[in-house]
Chains A and B, each alone.
Chain A
Amino acid sequence: DTEVTQTPKHLVMGMTNKKSLKCEQHMGHRAMYWYKQKAKKPPELMFVYSYEKLSINESVPSRFSPECPNSSLLNLHLHALQPEDSALYLCATSTRGKNSPLHFGNGTRLTVT
């Protein structure tokens, strides 16, 4: 079982909908990440939070809005998405600094219709 929990597991939304993806961890990790993964491709970094503050935004469109309300939770708010945004969205956590591998959740499979 993964120690990074993502909900929902699957999500289907229309292009005019607003939805949120959630990620929760209780490992005490202070770095949290959002990745996007297309089928049979490697994960692509979207955002990094360090100590609950956004530290990296990889030029992600504004229709994706991350939020880190506390050290255990990470959200990704979705609005006005496009069909090409359909993908597996992965949350990951790590300690900060050296020797800090990322630990991934099982992802949310998002389909935009």
Chain B
Amino acid sequence: GQQLNQSPQSMFIQEGEDVSMNCTSSSIFNTWLWYKQDPGEGPVLLIALYKAGELTSNGRLTAQFGITRKDSFLNISASIPSDVGIYFCAGQWSGGGADGLTFGKGTHLIIQP
């Protein structure tokens, strides 16, 4: 099925550094979501964005819904060891019914000691 273009594919950073990742799409979405997945667990919702241009924070995480509705970014400030994991962006149309998500391929975040 359709996938979003998520980058970077992986990141090797030092603890305390800031992190930035983004997703782009050829289609517009009504909702952009960011999930984090740890090994052996399901994806956990970090931030949900519902309006073009919306900028939302959740602790050290900040995400924005692109004005064109075709892109989104996620920033993590002052990374800590527990930030390690796979981050997925996801777009959702939600035209009023129940539909699934279109996922990016994920960004693997690795924090070097």
Which residues of chain A have a CB within 8 Å of any CB of chain B?
A: 2, 4, 6, 30-31, 33, 35, 40-45, 48-50, 55-56, 58, 90, 92, 94, 96-107, 109
Contact = CB atoms under 8 A, between A and B. Distances in A.
A58 B94 contact: no
B99 A56 contact: yes
B98 A96 contact: yes
B33 A101 contact: yes
Given A33-B100, A97-B97, A103 B45 contact: yes
Contacts of B41: 106-107
Contact of A101 (B86, B92, B103): B92
Contacts of B35: 104
B100 A45 contact: yes
A96 B97 contact: yes
Contacts, number: 87
Nearest to A105: B42
User: Interface of chain B, helix or strand or loop or mixed?
Assistant: loop
Interface residues of B, number: 30
A98 B31 CA distance: 8
B71 to A, nearest CB: 17
A58 B45 contact: no
B98 A31 contact: yes
B11 to A, nearest CB: 14
Interface string B70-110: 00000000000000001010101010111111011110100
